[in-house]
Amino acid sequence: MTALRLSPLSAVALMVGCSLIPDYQRPSSPSAAQYSIATQPATRREDWRTLFNDPAMEQLIETALVNNRDLRVAALNVQAFQAQYRIQRADLLPAVSANVNQSRQRMPPSITGGQAQITSAYAVNLGFSAYELDFFGRVRSLSEQALQGWLATEHARRSAELTLVANVANAYLTWRADQQLLELSQNTLAADEQSLRLTTRNREAGKSSGLEQAQARTRVDSTRVNVARYQRLVAQDLNSLTLLVGAPISAQLPALPLASERVPPVPAGLPSDLLQRRPDILQAEYRLKAANANIGAARAAFFPSMSLTANAGTASRDLSGLFNAGSGAWTFQPQISLPIFNAGALRASLDYAKLQKDVAIAEYEQAIQTAFQEVADGLAARSTYEQQLQAQGDLVQATQDYYNLARNRYRNGVDSSLTFLDAQRSLFTSQQGLISDRLAQLMAEVNLYTALGGGWQADEPAAR
């Protein structure tokens, strides 16, 4: 039987190739295989530019992606973590440096036994110091941890970008809705003032009572309150949108009305695997991988660590003889450190690393569950908002007919102003409700787009 023989170099290579990082296994998803809400087939639409067909919104989002300060901070954090990874990765290789030294020393007569002596020494060395031979993968584990932390930060930046797109879209839609509500209030105020003038003339002619005139005036004052409130909301919405965009926005920005906004449908049988591309879920998984790599570093701390210091160069008492024959010098200094007693600190460090991994697993699973709930809520909202808007539109039409009949009967003296004022109030309330419901529907579409990680996919080819 032939014995297997390994050269010292081969043995060192095998030891350096050792790694104590546990094999990574992605935790199973705690969510269902697909969403239960039925949807309509659709072509593939993944870019935020296809979410709404509104050039003004696209312009604002593009500007925000360039100028938003929060997104800029997230991008700088990615660069910072990348630099940290490069620093940690550099420990895998020795740091070679060149040193030039000069020293002068005076020895007093009390030591030399005669006259004082002054000695000089010159040296030039090239080498490395305290380079750790990574036999058990501690340095590589730390490098892997830094790499996974960098990737997690990159997905945090993507998550911030996706959130910014959604925030700009929601702020823009809210601004447009308040503008329409302001316009509706102003038109209603004009109609209320006309009704007040008519009631005043009828009061002077003895056709109406003072109570009816007071009720008409109350209606005018109430609408004036709404006009002032929506003027304030429009100004505040513009300020919020300006902060998100990071640049001035014209108050007269041309845009489509809310009723003309169209959102692409979601494909039927949407798989829950789409959640795996959400930036926050990917960020949680990379954090889990970083915690897994940290266990390898904690395990390696139980084993001996070996560092090496070596340099070679030339030395001489005289500068002129620095490179003469026979002036060569070298140093070779290996060092082995073996942990013997540390009061359980290494065991506690390993237990802590394992607990951090368990925490990362729980956070990863929670991120998936939260994302699944957000998508399910978005699909449920989409399936019901169409019916709600249809019903609200029918209500607006019915109250409009009621208002027209009440106005004609009041002007012809058939009914009192009480019925007419009630019709005005009902029409204004139903029109307000229609705008608010449309805004809620569009914001739900934006939130669904965000919950799906930036869009959805279908089996059909992409539309061009």
What count of other Cβ atoms lies within 10 Å of the Cβ of residue 201?
A: 11
- Can you tell me the distance from the alpha carbon of 288 to that of 280, in angstroms, rounded to the nearest whole number? 12
Distance, CA of 391 to CA of 377 (rounded, Å): 21
pLDDT tens column, 35-53: 443 333 333 334 677 777 7
Nearest residue to 373 (alpha-carbon basis) of 81, 52, 41, 30 = 30
Nearest to 16 by CA among 88, 84, 85, 93: 93
Interval 205-264: pLDDT, tens: 777 777 778 888 888 898 999 999 999 999 999 999 999 998 898 877 777 777 776 666
Residue with tokens 């039987």: 1
Give the chain's domains with CATH numbers: 16-92+134-302+347-451 (1.20.1600.10), 101-130+305-338 (2.20.200.10)
Could you read off the pLDDT of 150-160 as tens digits, one per residue?
999 999 998 89
| Inter-CA distances, 98 with 101, 123, 149, 218, 313, Å | 10, 11, 33, 90, 9
pLDDT at position 132 is 84
Residue 181 contacts residue 437 (beta carbons within 8 Å): no
The strand pair at 117-133 and 328-337 is best described as: unpaired
> Which residues, 6 or more positions from 266, have their beta carbon under 8 angstroms from its beta carbon?
39, 40, 42, 379, 382, 448, 456
pLDDT for 288-308, tens place per residue? 999 998 888 888 888 888 888
Which secondary structure element, helix H or strand E, spans residue 209, and what is its range?
none
State the DSSP code for 456: B
User: Which residues have a Cβ under 8 Å from the Cβ of 274 and sit 6 or more positions away?
Assistant: 375, 452, 453, 456, 457
Predicted confidence (pLDDT) at residue 120 exceeds the cutoff of 50: yes
Q: Which residues of 111-126 are buried (b: 16+ CB within 10 A; e: fewer)?
A: eeeeeeeeeeebbbbe
Please tell me which of 133-142, 165-174, 247-256, 379-388 the model is most confident about, judged by mean pLDDT.
Answer: 165-174
Q: Is the pTM of this model over 0.85?
A: no
Compute the distance between CA of residue 265 and CA of residue 277 in angstroms, rounded to an integer. 20
Confidence of residue 185 (pLDDT cuts 50, 70, 90): very high
The span from the CA of 88 to the CA of 144, in Å, is 9
DSSP H or E stretch at residue 378: helix 345-411
Would you tell me how many other CB atoms lie within 10 Å of the CB of residue 66?
12
Alpha-carbon distance of 371 to 285, in angstroms, equals 14
- Contact of 306 with 135, CB cutoff 8 Å: yes
Q: What whole-number distance in Å separates Cα of residue 176 and Cα of residue 238?
A: 10
pLDDT at 460 over 50: no
